[in-house]
Structures are given as structure tokens and as C-alpha cells.
Amino acid sequence: MKAPIGIGYLSFAHGHVQLYADVMKHFADVRQLIGYDDSEARGRPVCESAGMRYTPHIEDVLEDPEVQAVVIGSETSRHEELCVAAAQVGKHILLQKPLAFSLDACARIKDAVNRAGIHFAMAFQMRHDPANLRIREIVHSGMLGDIAVIRRRHCIGVLLMDSFINGPTRWHIEAEKNKGMFMDDAVHPADWFHWIFGKPVSVMAEIGNIITNVAPDDNGYAIYRFGRGELGTIFNSSVVLAAEGTTEIYGSRGVLIQNYGDGPGCAAPRCPEGPALKVFRYGESRWDVQEVPIPPGGQGDRIRNVPRPWIDSLINETPPPASLEDGCVASEMILGAYQSSETGKRVPFPLAP
């Protein structure tokens, strides 16, 4: 695909998409042309800041011959509608997570994309964090040996914030638009696990409201079993305002510890020498501190890192960092956790239709 790439937007409901627009306005190989949103108060300011035209009409984006690719940042409940519409007119897609909150919707999106033969990418930001990239490299190198247990925390504090509960992002807590906070946010560590350790074979989980009742759920804990027997745990919470430790990986040859990796952790005070990653290898008497920069902007920096690799994959016609299949797997992992929580049973993958 020849640069510059003509970009359109289908909804700015998800705040991350606004950051993509802000980043890409500085790309010489991108032309941000037009953005649709059903809320003018939400869409027009983003479009004006990014130097593109605002429209309240989806067809203005889909029928524009100069728009080659679209960024979809709508409520999750609209992902199927907008992905199918974009695919049918041959627009390439970058979709904000999660792919969808039903297996049927995932399948219909996949069918539309495959029929159209378009380039489809998921905006999974965890794959663009320097610490996560180094973790993946360490695990795959064999430095830690056979892996026994992985613990990953992904926390935010939004359900304790009135600005979130009663503000423009309120759709995140509405079941019909987003299913639940575990669906919306645990999909990040789910993709992280799949990206590093492959597909799980089963899950056991508990998900529900513990200290709030403003969303369908506020806390969840899922235990995944992976193909080599590894146990991987996801702790996802929307009521954590202060924390530090993000990842622990325990292997036969060593241990990896990550701090400062999720929302509360990014904001945690630390000594200037406080490292993001530490590795202890059995038989040695010291920790191996990994020189990985901790982005000053925390989570915001890895969100801003999403657009550049996507644009490169369009221009070079190469696979995106996170594919449609990756989106399907992450959604299935989360849906399996909900099923386990609801039934009180271990749930095997793949999920039954």
C-alpha cells in the first residue's frame, strides 16, 4: 500500500482512540481525513485537533474513496456492526479491544474480514510496552527454564472515580454495551498470556461485584492452564488505586519479577534506581537487573505506541502485531472465565458453541 495512507475513524467512544489520532497527526505517511461519532460533543473536538473533518454519518467515512483504513473505537456492542460495514466496502481496520463479547459476533466479524480480504489489526497495547517485549524475550530464550506459575495483575481504579462513573466514559459500565469490567479490561492480560505462552487449555474463575455495584463486576480472578502445564493467573480489578507489583514468573531455572506495569503501578513512587524487571537465576547469588526503560508516561506511552506498527504493517503489507485471530482468542479466554464463574466449574477450550 502506498503512503500516505488515508485514515478515517468510526467512533471515538473509547478514549484510547483519541490518543491514536493525536499521535498520527504527526505521521508524514498518514492523512487523517474524516471521523464519525454519534456524539458531536465527543467527536468534533478530536477531529478538529487532528486536522480532519467531523461527521455524524457513518456512510461519509465508508463511502469516501480516499479513506483506505479505519480506526474503530466504538462501544464494544457496536464492534460487529462497524467491522462488518467497513469490511464490506474494503476498508482495512484497526479495532480497539475487545473484539466482541460473544463467540457468534467474533465469528461474524471473522467471516466478513475473510470474505473481503482486508488487513485487520487489534489494538492490543501490551504488545508495545518495552518491559513486556523483554519479558517475552526472556521467557522464549529459556533463561527461566520450564515455567510453573505466572501471575499477572491488571488493575485500575475507575469504579472509585465519579468522573468515570458519571462521565462520558460511562458506557464502559453498562452491561449491554460492554458486558462487564472483566470483559473490558482483563482482555489485556489475556492477550499478554496468549502472546507469550500460547493458547490455554482450560480456565477456572471467580468474577463479580465485591465492594461496588455500579458495573456488572468490579473484581475477577482467573486461573488458566496452558499447554505445557503452566498455571497462569489474572487478577483484574477496577477498584485498585495504589499498587506496584505487576508480574511474577516462576520457572525451573529462575524467577522474573516486574513492577510498575499496570495503571496503579505506573503511578507508584519509586527510587531512581528502581528497575522495571529483575531476574534471579538459581545457582547465582545476585539479581540480574534488566535495563528496560520505564516510560515516563506509563500506560499512556504504550497506548501511543500502537499506531506506528499498524501503519508500517499496512505500507509493507505484513502481518500486524496483533491479528484478528489474536482478538478471537483473547475474547474466548475472557468468555471462558465468565462461564467458569457462572457455573462454578473448570471450563475447557475451545468453548462449546
Query: pLDDT band at 270, cuts 50/70/90?
Result: confident
Lowest mean pLDDT across 81-85, 115-119, 349-353: 349-353
Sign of the alpha-carbon torsion through 229, 156, 129, 6: positive
pLDDT tops 90 at residue 5: yes
- pLDDT tens for 227-243 read 999 999 999 999 999 99
Query: Cell numbers of 351, please?
Result: 468453548
pLDDT tops 60 at residue 94: yes
Q: What are phi and psi of 224, to 5 degrees?
A: -105, 140
17 CB neighbour count, 10 Å cutoff:
27
- pLDDT tens for 287-298 read 777 767 665 556
Average pLDDT over every residue of 165-189: 95
Q: Beta strand pairing status for 69-72 and 5-10?
A: parallel
- Whole-number Å distance between alpha carbons of 261 and 124: 15
- Whole-number Å distance between alpha carbons of 172 and 266: 22
Give the pLDDT confidence score for residue 273 in this predicted structure: 67
Query: pLDDT band at 1, cuts 50/70/90?
Result: confident
- Pick 158 or 273 by higher pLDDT: 158
- Pick 271 or 92 by higher pLDDT: 92
Strand partners, 94: 71, 121
Q: Show Cβ contacts of residue 155 under 8 Å, excluding neighbours closer than 6 positions.
A: 235, 236, 237, 238, 240, 243, 262, 263, 264, 265
Average pLDDT over every residue of 213-226: 97
Q: Among 238, 249, 80, which residue's Cα sits nearest to residue 169?
A: 238
Average pLDDT over every residue of 15-23: 95
Query: pLDDT band at 176, cuts 50/70/90?
Result: very high
- Whole-number Å distance between alpha carbons of 345 and 89: 43
Query: pLDDT band at 266, cuts 50/70/90?
Result: confident
Instruction: Quote the crossing angle between the two packed helices 130-141 and 187-197, to the nearest 10°.
Output: 30
Q: Please report, as a single letter, which amino acid is at residue 222.
A: A
148 CB neighbour count, 10 Å cutoff:
14
Average pLDDT over all residues of the chain: 94
- pLDDT tens for 181-207 read 999 999 999 999 999 999 999 999 999
Q: What are phi and psi of 250, to 5 degrees?
A: -115, 120
* Cell 516510560 sits on residue: 295
For residue 237, give the H/E element and its range. Answer: strand 231-237
- Pick 268 or 9 by higher pLDDT: 9
- Whole-number Å distance between alpha carbons of 77 and 65: 27
The pTM for the full model equals 0.95
Q: Which strand ranges, in their side-by-side order, compose the sheet holding 287-290?
A: 287-290, 277-281, 254-259, 245-251, 147-155, 231-237, 219-226, 200-208, 347-348
According to DSSP H, which parts of the chain are helical?
Answer: 15-24, 40-50, 58-62, 79-88, 103-116, 130-141, 162-165, 175-178, 181-185, 187-197, 263-266, 299-304, 307-316, 324-343
* Cell 503452566 sits on residue: 230
pLDDT tops 90 at residue 282: no
CB 330 within 8 A of CB 124: yes
- pLDDT tens for 326-335 read 999 999 999 9
pLDDT tops 80 at residue 316: yes
Q: Show Cβ contacts of residue 337 under 8 Å, excluding neighbours closer than 6 positions.
A: 182, 186, 203, 205, 207, 220, 222, 234, 347
Give the pLDDT confidence score for residue 291 in this predicted structure: 67
CB 99 within 8 A of CB 72: no
Average pLDDT over every residue of 18-37: 97
- Whole-number Å distance between alpha carbons of 141 and 147: 12
Give the pLDDT confidence score for residue 296 in this predicted structure: 55
Strand partners, 208: 219
Domains and CATH numbers, the chain: 5-118 (3.40.50.720), 129-291+333-348 (3.30.360.10)
Average pLDDT over every residue of 144-162: 96
Give the pLDDT confidence score for residue 272 in this predicted structure: 67
Rounded percentage of the chain residues whose pLDDT exceeds 70: 97
- Whole-number Å distance between alpha carbons of 220 and 342: 12
- Pick 168 or 197 by higher pLDDT: 197
For residue 219, give the H/E element and its range. Answer: strand 219-226
